[in-house]
Chains A and B, each alone.
Chain A
Amino acid sequence: MTRRGVIHTIDALLAAAILTTALLYASQIPRDRDYTHDEALSVLGMQTLVKMDGNGTLGRLVNTRSWDDLENVMRVMLPTGVSFNVTVFDDQGNLVNDEVISNGGLRGRTVESVEYGLVVEEGSCPMYRIRLQVGV
């Protein structure tokens, strides 16, 4: 074997050792699969809307067009890492919210959508349809 051949062989062995070591080390790094929100997102979304409606907050914020406050409440109630987008329609199906109600747009490999019928106990009891999209 020539000297050049020996060097190439040693080179290949060293490269193999380095790659193997790196891959084996990487395989030992703790992996957080983070299934936190794999519990049906639609369940989480519906639960959030029901809780907000339960104490009258959802109806009040929608009726007063307080979109920033509605966004903040959603941010507080939904877990960290869940993206959301809320769209409000009136009983005729017309878009009501003139601002985006979201924490930066829907993100993630899974996006689910829930719709919630809202009746506000004020005045003529206006009806709305809330569409909440959640992603993770």
Chain B
Amino acid sequence: MVLLTVGAMYGVNMVAEPFLDYDSDVQTRYYQIGRYILLAQGAPSNWGVGGAPTDLGLASEGDNYELDIDKISRLNPLNDYSVNYTALWESLDVDDVSFRISVETLFDVSLSLDDSQVQGEQTVYNFSVTVMREGRALAADVSYYVAVRDTTQLSSGTTDGDGAGTVQFTLPNSKNGSAVLVALVDFEGLVSYGVLPFAHNSGAPKPAGTYAVLSPMNYTLTVDLTPGANVINAATFSRDYAFNLTADGSDYMIPRLLDPSPMINVVTGSNASDYWVEWVAYPQVPLETGADMSADYVVSDVSSASYIVSVKGVSYRFIIEFRSPEQHD
């Protein structure tokens, strides 16, 4: 009976401990660190356009919670100019706290190719789009763009009360190769996007990064080509505008749009007989960077906070997770 009682006390204590041991000072400290990262520009204040930060802050010169487009993009590990977690952690200069940052669009845009029909010298494609937030359908306005080789087409439409919409594009068969459909969706001033690579009379599109790695920074798109690959065209698509980009060596100048919209940069090219397409968003979101907080023994000690932030007038969800390994390990 003694064993039973002691065992029960131990077990209950272990289960209830995280809830009883609510250390509000620790939580407050975490949230102050989070707010500092979001509200401070860091040092140097323009570290987004080059170099590593010596003091971690993501803010731009604008309003509170307005983040710098390049500082955000350089958090993305897929960017050639990304700042790794070690450098970020050192620049935060809080030794006993590890963190993980994720930035995402506020709602989801899903694209799918319903069917295609060859009609003479052309192929007609029918696509569908679904706009949702956690399973709730959203009626929204949509701008569509298709890019293949040196051809760009655009269209617009809406989604209905079920969050569903359709769009049709007709592409000449002579422009075969990998193509991409871009959808920029405006729901009551909140903008998100979806991208769907598809095959136009060719083999399936290769995984992203096969022919080129695209890295936007300081309104310049760096195109890091694999051997044998050549660029045919580079373009930027936003909610209301589409531009072909001007080349400057291996870089392309991204326009500074006032349009509150993510910019989707698409590069088409060739490699021997293949015609490929690569794309990247600017700011380069969604992204995740930081310490691994997913391990079972870690997850119970993680504190996180969610914020709505703006980057060039577009709202994103910013989630930061904290943990103090020295306190728990």
A positions within 8 Å CB-CB of B: 12, 15-16, 19-20, 22-24, 26-28, 30-33, 35-40, 44, 47-48, 51-52, 54-57, 61, 69, 72-73, 75-77, 79-80
B3, A20: Cβ atoms under 8 Å? yes
CB distance from A25 to the nearest CB of B (A): 9
Determine the chain A residues whose CB is within 8 A of the CB of B310 once the complex forms.
51, 54
The DSSP consensus for interface residues of chain B is mixed
User: Which residues of B are found within 8 Å of A20, using beta-carbon distances?
Assistant: 3-4, 7-8, 11
Nearest A residue to B297, CB-CB: A30
Residue of A nearest to B66 (CB): A54
Enumerate chain A residues within 8 angstroms of B296, measured Cβ to Cβ.
30
Tell me which of B12, B19, B134, B313 contacts A55 (CB under 8 A): B313
Q: B residues touching A (Cβ–Cβ < 8 Å)? A: 1, 3-4, 7-8, 10-12, 14-15, 18-19, 27, 31, 34, 63, 65, 106-107, 133-134, 136, 138, 187-190, 260, 296-297, 299-308, 310, 313, 315, 317, 319
Q: 14 pairs across A/B with beta carbons < 8 Å?
A: A12-B1, A16-B1, A23-B10, A26-B14, A31-B15, A32-B300, A35-B304, A35-B305, A39-B306, A40-B31, A47-B65, A54-B63, A54-B310, A79-B306
Closest to A61 in B: B188
Q: Which of chain B's residues have a CB closer than 8 A to the CB of A73? A: 187-188, 190
Report the separation of the CA atoms of residues A116 and B316 in the bound assembly, to the nearest whole angstrom.
Answer: 22
Extra pairs beyond A23-B11, A72-B187 (17, CB < 8 Å):
A12-B1, A20-B8, A23-B8, A23-B15, A30-B296, A31-B15, A31-B18, A33-B300, A33-B303, A35-B304, A36-B306, A37-B305, A39-B306, A40-B31, A54-B63, A72-B136, A77-B190
Which residue in chain B gives the minimum CB-CB distance to A66?
B188
* Complex interface: chain A residues within 8 A of B134 (CB): 75, 80
